[in-house]
Every structure is written in structure tokens, then in C-alpha cells.
């Protein structure tokens, strides 16, 4: 089978490589010439364990090549970004999806399958994609098989989860669903769950919305704990020992291409019936301001002059800074202008990030932990030897607190900020 994958980002590229390494002919299409060149030379443009090794295998076998243009194939997979629009409900911007579909319509042939993997608002496949194909003279379910098959993978484990996770196959018709099942059965070993396209769209969005709402509950508990001087993390740990309770971990906010984006697609589709989802979004988007204000308060109390930010990605052990609350907090600190701000993140290659940890912490008063990279979990007293003061504000609860003893604050005991003695100014 020949498969064209449009969009070679965090989902499209691993998906294309997975098909290629299961003996399918795969053409990867992207709009970035530098990305095309890198991929054809066997190098990936994003951080994902094992991906470059699998890419080299796919290129060397001749089963994968990247290019700028779409060409005829048996199946087409659209895996392009769907950002939020700048409107009151941050609705789904379908520009890239619809452009991708328009680019493949001229090469469509009867019997082809078109799969939308991009995360989209409910009813997008039927109300927006289907008409574009029908306008070209094709009958959906007879001439062309149209499917929504959302990804449900964890960055850092994408290759494993693409293969072993259950997969929703949402066809516009039953024949479309069967066509989608045939394609994904090439490599998926999890259950292939059959559904309609619209139900598949909403299921994907609700999977991420569930997590967003749960995290909002945890973040609200942090604020409750601060007001009542109760350790919120201890409360969560005890509550989760109940057999039917699973409160998620609080943090500095919610980022990435899913949790910080997808709930708005549901809200925009039906704003009057989604007060809980909207409230959860408001709580989570308030966390960067919360962390920023508590950081300023701590710096005032310890008479601090320099902050070292540890991590700016939206989650640990990846290089992805999309919608990152850590990046938002860092920018707020820089814009405030009250402190010297140094940033250390071993996973992000940017000119404004200090690559040497000792230089990043030189004369620093505070380590502000905003991302749970593994590298931060094993820091020692010696690693902090260049700091002026060794205070830590750990928003991810991963720092070895014994290293700094009584100078450690987390979102659990952030209420104790008020009890820290103010350091005199000289």
C-alpha cells in the first residue's frame, strides 16, 4: 500500500515511519524545506526517543521519503496542527486541515481512503471535510472512504504507544470505518475501536478535557491549601489511597498541543452547556500568574536578586515548548524587570538558554523548577555550590528537597511562604 502523510510533526512523522517500517511505501509531505532535507538525510527535527533510529531504517529501506508535494496514493493521512483561533471561545482553526485536504483532492482516485488524524472540533469531518471531497465528484463511502482516527499517544513514548494503544476508527459510513481498520491493522496491536467520525472527534477531545478538569481540581486544591495552611500534596496523596479516587498532580499550568487547546474546541461548539469545562480552563490558565506572584513574594522575603529557572518545556524529558506555562512564567519574570533571570533546560536549544548549569546558577538566590526533567531529580548539594542562596520553589514536586533542607518550597507547602523570615537588605 502507498500512503501519503501530510504534516511531519510530533504525530505525522512517527506515524509515517511506523507504516514505512511495516513494509508500506510512504511519502511524507511537509511545507518546510529544511525539514524535508533533514529527514531524507536520516535526521529528525524533534526530540523523541528512538525516532531517529527508526527514521534511518525507513529511509535506508527505501520505504520512506519526504517531499513538498502531494502525489497519488492509496491512502492519505492528514496530521497537521489545529491551533486555537483568536476569538472569544478559542475555537478550532481548521486552516491547515482544510488546506491539506484541498491539496490531496486533485490526486484522489476511486478506492482511496482519506484519514484525518489532526485533533478537530466535533462534526468537522462531516461538515467541513466531506463537502470538499464531494465537490470533486466523489461519493463518500463508495468512491472515497473518509475516516477520523485521532492520535492518543504520550510524548516520550510515541513509538510504543502508536503500536500498542487502542485506536478509535471513526468512519463517516460503516464502509469508511472498515477501510480505516484495514489500514491501521498494518501495525496497531491494540484494540481497533469502531465508531462514527463525529463520536471519534468528541471522544478525543473529552479524553484530554477529563485530564484538564482533573488538573484544575488539583490546582484549586493548591490555592485552598495555601489559604488554610494545609499541605495540598499530602492531601492528594492520602485521597488517592481511596480505591475510587485519582486526583491528578497540580502544577504551574497546563501546556502542550492537547490539554491546553482541545477543551476550547468543545466549548466553542456548545458554549452554553460547558460551564465546568470553561471554569477548569480558567483555573489552569490562572496558574502561571499564581506561580509568578508567589515567586515575587519569596524573592522579596529572601532579598533575592537572581532567579534560575529550571525547565521551559510543557512537560518533562521533551523539547516541546508549545503552550508551555513554564515559558509564560519565565517571560513574566523577565518582563517584570526586578530580577536577573537565567534559564537552564538541557532539552531546548535556544540562544537565551544557558547550557552550563554552574553558570546558570552562579550567584543565584532561587531555583524555580517549572518542568520535571529527569536531570533535575538527581541534583546534589555540590551542583548548587555556585548559588548565593539555596532556595528552591518546586512547582513539579520532583526536586530532592533534602539537598536544600529548610529552603524547599513546593505547591504543597507554598502557604508557609508567609512564615519565611525576611532577609535584611544591606
The set of catalytic residues is 204, 258
β-pairing verdict for 366-369 and 2-6: unpaired
Q: Are 126 and 112 in contact (CB under 8 A)?
A: no
With a CB cutoff of 8 Å and minimum separation 6, the contacts of 202 are 122, 266
d(CA 49, CA 44): 11
Give the 3-state secondary structure of 63-87. CEEEECCCCCCCEEEECCCCCECCC
Strand order in the sheet with 306-310: 340-344, 306-310, 366-369, 391-394, 408-410
Q: Are 396 and 317 in contact (CB under 8 A)?
A: no
d(CA 168, CA 235): 36
CB burial string 205-237: b at 16+ within 10 A, e below: bbebbebbbebbebbbbbbebbeeeebbbebbe
CB atoms within 10 A of CB 112: 21
CB atoms within 10 A of CB 106: 9
Nearest C-alpha neighbor of 117 from the set 12, 3, 28: 12
Amino acid at each position: 500500500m502507498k500512503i501519503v502523510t501530510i504534516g511531519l510533526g510530533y504525530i505525522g512523522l512517527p506515524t509515517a515511519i511506523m507504516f514505512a517500517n511495516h513494509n508500506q511505501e510512504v511519502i511524507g509531505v511537509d511545507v518546510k524545506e529544511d525539514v524535508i532535507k533533514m529527514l531524507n538525510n536520516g535526521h529528525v527535527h524533534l526530540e523523541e526517543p528512538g525516532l531517529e533510529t527508526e527514521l534511518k531504517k525507513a529511509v535506508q529501506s527505501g520505504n520512506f521519503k519526504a517531499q513538498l508535494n502531494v502525489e497519488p496514493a492509496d491512502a492519505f493521512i492528514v496530521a497537521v496542527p489545529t491551533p486555537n483561533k483568536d476569538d472569544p471561545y478559542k475555537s478550532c482553526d481548521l486552516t491547515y486541515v482544510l488546506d491539506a485536504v484541498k491539496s490531496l483532492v486533485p490526486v484522489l482516485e476511486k478506492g482511496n481512503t482519506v484519514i484525518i488524524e489532526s485533533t478537530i472540533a466535533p462534526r468537522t469531518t462531516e461538515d467541513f471535510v466531506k463537502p470538499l471531497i464531494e465537490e470533486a465528484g466523489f461519493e463518500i463511502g463508495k468512491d472515497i472512504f473518509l475516516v477520523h482516527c485521532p492520535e492518543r499517544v504520550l510524548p516520550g513514548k510515541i513509538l510504543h504507544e502508536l503500536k500498542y494503544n487502542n485506536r478509535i476508527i471513526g468512519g463517516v459510513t460503516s464502509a469508511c470505518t472498515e477501510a480505516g481498520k484495514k489500514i491501521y491493522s498494518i501495525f496497531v496491536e491494540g484494540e481497533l475501536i469502531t465508531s462514527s467520525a463525529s463520536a471519534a472527534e468528541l471522544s478525543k477531545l473529552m479524553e484530554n478535557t477529563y485530564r484538564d478538569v482533573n488538573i484544575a481540581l488539583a490546582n484549586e486544591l493548591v490555592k485552598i491549601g495555601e489559604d488554610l495552611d494545609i499541605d495540598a500534596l499530602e492531601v492528594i496523596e492520602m485521597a488517592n489511597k481511596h480505591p475510587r479516587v485519582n486526583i491528578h498532580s497540580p502544577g504551574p499550568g497546563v501546556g502542550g498541543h492537547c490539554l491546553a487547546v482541545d477543551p476550547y474546541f468543545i466549548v466553542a461548539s456548545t458554549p452554553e452547556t460547558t460551564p465546568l469545562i470553561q471554569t477548569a480552563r480558567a483555573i489552569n490558565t490562572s496558574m502561571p500568574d499564581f506561580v509568578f506572584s508567589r515567586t515575587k513574594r519569596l524573592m522579596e522575603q529572601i532579598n533575592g536578586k537572581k532567579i534560575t529557572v529550571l525547565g521551559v518545556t510543557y512537560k518533562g524529558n521533551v523539547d516541546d515548548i508549545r503552550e508551555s506555562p513554564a515559558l509564560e512564567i519565565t517571560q513574566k519574570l523577565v518582563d517584570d524587570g526586578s530580577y536577573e533571570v537565567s534559564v537552564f533546560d538541557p532539552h531546548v536549544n535556544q540562544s537565551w538558554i544557558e547550557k552550563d548549569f554552574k553558570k546558570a546558577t552562579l550567584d543565584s538566590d532561587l531555583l524555580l523548577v517549572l518542568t520535571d526533567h529527569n536531570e533535575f531529580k538527581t541534583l546534589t548539594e555540590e551542583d548548587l555550590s555556585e548559588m548565593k542562596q539555596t532556595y528552591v520553589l518546586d512547582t513539579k514536586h520532583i526536586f530532592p528537597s533534602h539537598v536544600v533542607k529548610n529552603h524547599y518550597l513546593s505547591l504543597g507547602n507554598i502557604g508557609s511562604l508567609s512564615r519565611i523570615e525576611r532577609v535584611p537588605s544591606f
